[in-house]
Homo-oligomer: A and B are copies of this chain.
Amino acid sequence: MIGMIKVGILGATGFTGEKLVEILLSHPEVKLTYIASRVKKSTLYSDIFPKFFKKTSLKCQPLKIKKAIDSCDLLFLSLPHTVSMKFVPKILAKGKKVIDLSADYRFKKSSTYKIFYKKEHQDKKNLKKSVYGLTELFKEKIKKAQLIANPGCYPTSIIIALYPLLAEKLVKGKIVIDSKSSITGSGRRATIDYHYSNVANNFWAYKPFIHQHQPEVAEVLGEKLTKSLSFSFLPQVASFESGIYSTIHLSFKKKVNKEKLNRIYNKYYQDSPFIRISDKLPKLKDAAGTNFSDIGFAVDKKGYEAIVVSSLDNLVKGAAGQAVQNMNLMFGLEETTGLLLL
């Protein structure tokens, strides 16, 4: 690289935007040149979030897309779903790169998008160009991409765990995915449901059979999924401060054991510095705050049933961290740059 990468963030005051700022401030090859959100006037970012006082003197600005494009090589879009697609065409037209953390460019089929996000897609042209940014699976495409659709947090957690087993055509029958997430996954919103007293010491399941991340997983796993496979995905809210912990119950066509699963996972992820594989079940806190994705598993005595656990930080590997990992690849950097020691 000659010079620093000039980077901007649109939507810098949500949980994901804030985490992006945090990560990018310590990234050795990045200069944060533009951050914007729904502020009314240019405001010190540390006045919005006092934790950044003396860490950065950046100002958060009312979003002006032209200014954003002009001042950056790449823009992270940490905007609500259905908003990103207004800006993406303009950014691409100027030859700048985009990593969109919303769902707007995740589905190849705009019809699926419409079903789950209740809106006609406004930028079908670029939809085709977008690369799904699950780094470990699409590294080569990501390196050449101009537009990345950064994965949802649940799908990241699920796909990383399932992909190798499905690619090996080992799995049969119903795959049960029971996922637990921090409330931060629902965004920084003032609602009585997210009041401290409603979340502390609480736990609940929601959107059974209808969560919008289910089709995302299905699309990405795509041809790996045969008709003989079915899914049951249940998202849940837990009171840990950050993280997603997915437990995946599945059955095999033929007998396996720990060693075999170890070999398979290592085969697919040997060049993936952020995947940590273990034949013990991980604890969530070991991944919290990091860009690691921890995969652990157990096989029953007979060898035809397994439980795979996938544990990661929903705001890091599940959002901002993976976005930066993708940025690294897009600019020819080591994928771990600025991410390994979070």
Binding site for B on A (CB under 8 A): 15, 25-26, 49-51, 53-55, 173-174, 176, 178, 180, 183-184, 188-192, 194-206, 208-209, 230, 232, 234, 236, 238-243, 245, 247, 249, 251, 273-274, 276, 278, 281-288, 290, 292, 298-301, 305, 307, 309, 340-341
- The answer to whether B240 and A285 touch across the interface, beta carbons within 8 angstroms, is no
CB distance from A202 to the nearest CB of B (A): 4
- The answer to whether A176 and B173 touch across the interface, beta carbons within 8 angstroms, is no
CB distance from A240 to the nearest CB of B (A): 5
CB distance from A238 to the nearest CB of B (A): 6
Would you call the interface of chain A mostly helix, strand, loop, or mixed?
mixed
Residues of B within 8 A of A178 (CB): 176, 178, 247, 249
In whole angstroms, what is the CA distance A341 to B203 when docked?
Answer: 22
- The answer to whether B197 and A195 touch across the interface, beta carbons within 8 angstroms, is no
- The answer to whether A194 and B196 touch across the interface, beta carbons within 8 angstroms, is yes
In whole angstroms, what is the CA distance A17 to B55 when docked?
Answer: 25
Residues of B within 8 A of A191 (CB): 190
Which of A230, A241, A243 has most B Cβ within 10 Å? Answer: A241
Between-chain CB contacts (< 8 Å), 30 pairs: A49-B286, A53-B278, A53-B286, A53-B292, A54-B273, A54-B340, A55-B340, A173-B173, A174-B176, A176-B176, A183-B197, A188-B192, A189-B192, A196-B196, A196-B200, A200-B239, A201-B241, A201-B242, A201-B288, A202-B240, A202-B283, A202-B284, A203-B243, A203-B283, A204-B284, A208-B281, A209-B301, A230-B305, A238-B239, A239-B240
CB distance from A48 to the nearest CB of B (A): 11
Residues of B within 8 A of A241 (CB): 197, 200-201
- Counting from the closest, the 9 A-B pairs by CB-CB distance are A208-B298, A196-B199, A51-B286, A178-B178, A26-B341, A203-B284, A204-B283, A176-B176, A202-B285
CB distance from A210 to the nearest CB of B (A): 9
CB distance from A297 to the nearest CB of B (A): 9
Which of A50, A180, A196 has most B Cβ within 10 Å? Answer: A196
